[in-house]
Amino acid sequence: MKDFAGTPGTLTSFVLRVAQCFFAAGSITSMATTESFFNVTAFCYLIASMGLQLIWSFGLALLDGYAMARKKIPHKPVLVSLFVVGDWVTATLSLSAAASSAGVTVLYFGDMGRCSLGEECTKFQMAVALAFLCWITIAISSIIMFWLLATG
Amino acid sequence: MKDFAGTPGTLTSFVLRVAQCFFAAGSITSMATTESFFNVTAFCYLIASMGLQLIWSFGLALLDGYAMARKKIPHKPVLVSLFVVGDWVTATLSLSAAASSAGVTVLYFGDMGRCSLGEECTKFQMAVALAFLCWITIAISSIIMFWLLATG
């Protein structure tokens, strides 16, 4: 297997995983601290999806950190296949959760004139924005992983 | 470049492209025949995104048909790169459009008790379901194209 920026066990990969954890945690915090998120299915789905993303990315960040400390790069095809499947599943879930929450948020803000939930409105917007940022970082990781598997 | 099921100029690829056109056209028809879709940004975005998908898939279906008739497979790396970028962009747009419309539809149906728009409710659901089917077929095409580019 080739070894380029972003493959497991490199600093780029580690930074991407930490960024995913950061954005996912921020999105969950912002959404879960509102008082009415549980009334909207899309918002609950956002929390579930970001939670899954957080667990997955945290696990892979630990693995990257361990691999960097041991200077041993985990590039076994079966392991990379597992990473590819996990990355693509979580990336798809993250994008769909971010988009469905964005659809509802835009409905509240733009289509109904203005959001009537006060301070919570900013939190909804913040949670959606962070979920999209999380999706961008997981998408970069997914593409690198898939490229590694295909060229491996 | 390798030649396997689903690469440009094969019957599988042609069938996938035709299926994408079919689902995208169905989704647009179902959504555009409702009377209130323009009140919701997510539904307008669904129509725009499915329209782009329809144009893109129709163009590639024509190309596949032409290549099958001439028995000449278009596998130049620069052409495949163009297909990969186009496929991924339209796939991402389709998924986000389907998910955001699904978020709003679920809000109308599940979270607000029931949909009060009568017959239109079924059309909204149908449009979202067809958009997800369209996304599944374009996702398969995208993965095949990316694999072709990476292994080429």
Please state the domain extents for chain B: 11-151
Between CA B58 and CA B138 the distance in angstroms is 12
The nearest alpha carbon in chain A to B152 belongs to: A151
**What is the DSSP track for B1-61?**
----TTSTTSHHHHHHHHHHHHHHHHHHHHHHTSSSGGG-HHHHHHHHHHHHHHHHHHHHH
pLDDT (0 to 100) of residue B50 = 95
Average pLDDT over residues A86-93: 94
pLDDT (0 to 100) of residue A91 = 95
> Does B104 sit within 8 Å of A99, measured CB to CB?
no
Q: Hey, how many other C-beta atoms are within 10 angstroms of the C-beta on A69?
A: 9
- pLDDT tens for A40-89 read 889 999 999 999 999 999 999 999 999 888 887 767 888 889 999 999 99
Number of H helices, E strands in chain B: 4, 0
Q: Is the pLDDT of residue A23 over 90?
A: yes
Percentage of chain A surpassing pLDDT 70? 96
Predicted TM-score (pTM) of the model is 0.89
pLDDT (0 to 100) of residue A1 = 57
pLDDT (0 to 100) of residue A75 = 73
> Does B103 sit within 8 Å of A104, measured CB to CB?
yes
Low-confidence ranges of chain B (pLDDT < 50): none
pLDDT (0 to 100) of residue B1 = 57
Ranges of H-type helices in A33-119: 41-70, 77-106
Between CA A28 and CA A33 the distance in angstroms is 8
**For residue A118, what are the contacts with CB-CB under 8 A and spacing of at least 6?**
none
pLDDT (0 to 100) of residue A50 = 95
Between CA B80 and CA B146 the distance in angstroms is 8
Residues on chain A touching B107 (C-beta within 8 angstroms):
40-42, 104, 107
- pLDDT tens for A94-149 read 999 999 999 998 888 777 767 776 778 889 999 999 999 999 999 999 999 888 88
Mutation for B interface: A49, A100, A145, most B CBs within 10 A: A100
> Does B150 sit within 8 Å of A107, measured CB to CB?
no
Mutation for A interface: B89, B107, B109, most A CBs within 10 A: B107
| Cα–chain center distance at B21 | 7
pLDDT (0 to 100) of residue A51 = 96
Between CA A110 and CA A97 the distance in angstroms is 19
The closest alpha carbon to B22, from B57, B73, B60, belongs to B57
pLDDT (0 to 100) of residue A100 = 94
What distance in Å separates residue B67's CA from the closest CA in chain A? 26
- Whether B137 contacts B107, CB under 8 Å: no
What distance in Å separates residue A108's CA from the closest CA in chain B? 10
